Chains A and B, each alone.
Chain A
């Protein structure tokens, strides 16, 4: 199956855009997989592993498509394992370290509250392949959002300690939420072509979901202040390099290894 793109000029933008989505899914999936063997309870061990699988599955479909658009014979593995931090295009939010369980939960809520309406909107894309990947991812994001929401409520409305940690997690991650709704030339181009949804238009729904959970959790929504930015252009926090060192080790030590 192949997607449609309107003319050759749209191709680099479409490839860049697909890579951004793939990178965010892979990096968040990898972060969640770091919990395997360390989760606070068995059920969460399974849940976080399942979330990670969904995200890595989404990333695989997106990388395969990005490689196909590029048409230079690179594979999904080449894109995941052979690009350095500066070439990654993921959101800064998803590369932030797991921290404690509250931090991971807050990160998941802030991301999924965007991802759910985003994939739903992208499922209406004029690009058939992106639409197909998005239609699957939307269902997965719905679970992720629900799961993160329920946990943040438990933590926020739990003990003094869990409340304190949940609030600290939100405060810490809030400056990474602005980037999610940014638009640049690549997005403007694809929005005009009916391929990408306008992320700014998804903000009200994100805000409603996040505010509903925060209120139920008896937490305080951090105030909007200065926002971090840079993931789209490859300017990442120091954390991404460390993550990639672990993610890419095998292909760096044994290039081309397969089994």
Chain B
């Protein structure tokens, strides 16, 4: 396992998350998400030198995250590619990202006992990986809460799930393939169904702006 390669990959993962959240063009955001999925696959392959099981994870991530989900998102953005203006813009998002990453890094490195690793070096890598995973997860929630465009909220959901996937590498590397495939498959089906319903929303409401979803109150 090459620590510098892994650090480069995880930092690029943060960058692609931010690009996916902040890009105002939904197709650009989809491409950023695709790059992130490929980075996660590369990360899993890099980790697999210490744990061969992670090669299965890389294969699952390649099919579900790097092929199926981007394909669904690409199809869903055929009619509209411009995102509805979000609630919070670029500047505040940048400040929040830096604060978030610093906080997560400190938390995971002071609570290293949450996971077990055979060596000190691997424990440090696992802690960094966990910090990045929690940051990507929180960025996903941030996107869901602050983006008005329904398709962007689905991209937020995908980021959130990527954060979970990354965290599993540190927390549960020995997990069975059946459980992993179950988790990965559910993400794909959920994204498909959400985009299917959002297509219906576009037909009935005339846009994918979630602020227009105001039929149901209290």
Tell whether A and B belong to one assembly: no
Interface residues in chain B, defined as those with a beta carbon under 8 Å from any beta carbon in chain A = none
